[in-house]
Chain A
């Protein structure tokens, strides 16, 4: 009896210690992240300029490539749809608008994941030879992808103007509804920034999974449904997978608001916000905790 009480007390102490450590780490991670933005504004801007202007510096049509490279996929999917090879369901709006509205959100998520998850490999030389806060690289990567997203969004609006498309009042919430997608993509990027160095195979498997995720997220097609957040397919397994794919909800939320003016119940939005924010918070704490170990492994 006495032994059980002692064991319970030890477990309680261990649990309290673990909780306190986790809370300290979480608090430190967010504080350090915000402080880093304030103190490293100039370095962030310089890195951003470097990445934006040198990416296509040797090309005479740099803006064209920024737009054309991703939109090349749109041309292919559009051809497949309009030639009848691709069955996309009833999208109720011009398919090009539906497709571009979904694709730009996917690129936004994927590019944030990719650019955040590759910061160790891309900047290994600078990281190993200069002491600076790695949050700078994360913020720069996010800002860079936000700029590309803005360019893509302008193209979407041009397409909408061409089709004389009328937006709904809920469309105005689009920037706010984009945040959960941003939070979740950053979270994935932070975790895989570490795993890309410590467990290369795991990161490579996930890269392949991201390609698969694209097809199990309703971007190219529209599932038939009564409730937009519970997609229904003839194949119940596929319906189940798509329903539990987080990107389904993260992409449907801003896209459906923009092109259909549809909003889920407020409680649904709150749940998506909270889950994605907690994911980012935990990923940031994990990234900070594993920082030294990851840097040490950069040379191995």
Chain B
């Protein structure tokens, strides 16, 4: 087995509730001392290897987005270690970071800059982004007139020009038409040797014929792992059935 692109060991995270901390502790301390804490992640262990596509399935509130935010460095973990070998790019919503008053082309510069690209790289990639997005007719129109699916297309098209060792896609392909989603997934499969993928979703159909390994996240821990789609889905369905009506 090659070295992991991402290695997480015994990771935990809790949140204290705003309003429950002592005033000076709230304003000056980074430690959590409140009695009421929400713990979205408990003892998470995960390794992602080069060329792998991992699917993480979890019901709403299971800790999926918190995990993504910790891996990408937006949140800080309370305990545990994260080792990343290379560049990680996370996509939560393909439409985020866009400005509706700017044109599609202007938004390409803005969003790509958020992904760390410079002007020269964006200029070189511009035609390919427009081609992949299939938005040639609209690219110089304000983004305000785009549908949510069109914005998602533009978002993913920009992503195709970002060089990363690991992409984390958190429910980002939930919008847009089925054909375009398939195009995005095919792109990720074709490029998995360059960029491993963690695909996070609560819709298990998105993982069929796509993920090499599926992990089920429930109540902040990985409860189940399988390389077989059907076995993982059966377990996930039992979790869903346990939910109150």
Binding site for B on A (CB under 8 A): 42-43, 46-47, 50, 53-54, 57-58, 125-132, 194-195, 198-199, 289-290, 292-293, 295-297, 300
Contact = CB atoms under 8 A, between A and B. Distances in A.
Interface stretch (B91-99, B145-153, B175-183): B91-99
A130 B114 CA distance: 7
Nearest to B31: A293
B187 interface: no
A289 B30 CA distance: 8
11 contacts: A43-B113, A47-B113, A50-B106, A54-B101, A126-B97, A129-B93, A131-B74, A194-B27, A198-B26, A290-B28, A292-B30
Interface in B74-96: 74-76, 88, 90, 92-93, 96
B118 A42 contact: yes
A130 B18 contact: no
B15 interface: yes
Interface string B12-34: 00010110000100111010000
B92 A129 contact: yes
Contacts of B117: 42
A58 B101 CA distance: 9
Given A42-B119, A131-B90, A296-B15, A126 B96 contact: yes
Contacts of A198: 18, 26-27
Contact of A129 (B88, B97, B109, B113): B97
Chain B binding site: helix, strand, loop or mixed by DSSP? Answer: loop
Q: Which 9 A-B pairs have the closest CB atoms?
A: A292-B76, A43-B113, A129-B92, A54-B101, A300-B18, A46-B113, A129-B96, A131-B72, A42-B118
Given A46-B110, A50-B106, A131-B74, 19 more contacts: A43-B114, A46-B113, A47-B113, A53-B102, A54-B101, A57-B101, A126-B114, A129-B92, A129-B93, A129-B96, A129-B97, A130-B115, A131-B72, A131-B90, A194-B27, A198-B27, A290-B30, A293-B30, A295-B75
Contacts of B74: 127-129, 131, 295
A131 B92 CA distance: 11
B90 A195 contact: no
B141 to A, nearest CB: 14
Contacts of B88: 131
A131 B30 contact: no
A127 B69 CA distance: 10
B27 A199 contact: yes
A290 B27 CA distance: 8
B62 to A, nearest CB: 16
B73 interface: yes
A195 B102 CA distance: 32
Contacts of B72: 131
A132 B73 CA distance: 9
B205 to A, nearest CB: 24
Which residue among B92, B114, B118 has the maximum number of chain A CB atoms within 10 Å of its CB? B114
A130 B73 CA distance: 9
A24 B161 CA distance: 37
Contacts of A296: 15, 75
Contact of B96 (A43, A130, A131): A130
Which residue among A125, A293, A295 has the maximum number of chain B CB atoms within 10 Å of its CB? A293
Nearest to A297: B18
B101 A130 contact: no
Contacts of B17: 300
Contacts of B73: 131
Contacts of A292: 30, 75-76
A300 B90 CA distance: 22
Contacts of A289: 30
A287 to B, nearest CB: 12
Contacts of B114: 43, 126, 130, 132
A54 B144 CA distance: 12
Nearest to A125: B96
A256 B118 CA distance: 43
Contacts of A53: 102
A250 B115 CA distance: 39
Contacts of B113: 42-43, 46-47
Contacts of B69: 128
Contact of B99 (A54, A127, A297): A54
Given A131-B73, A296-B75, A46 B97 contact: no
A183 B105 CA distance: 36
Nearest to A293: B30
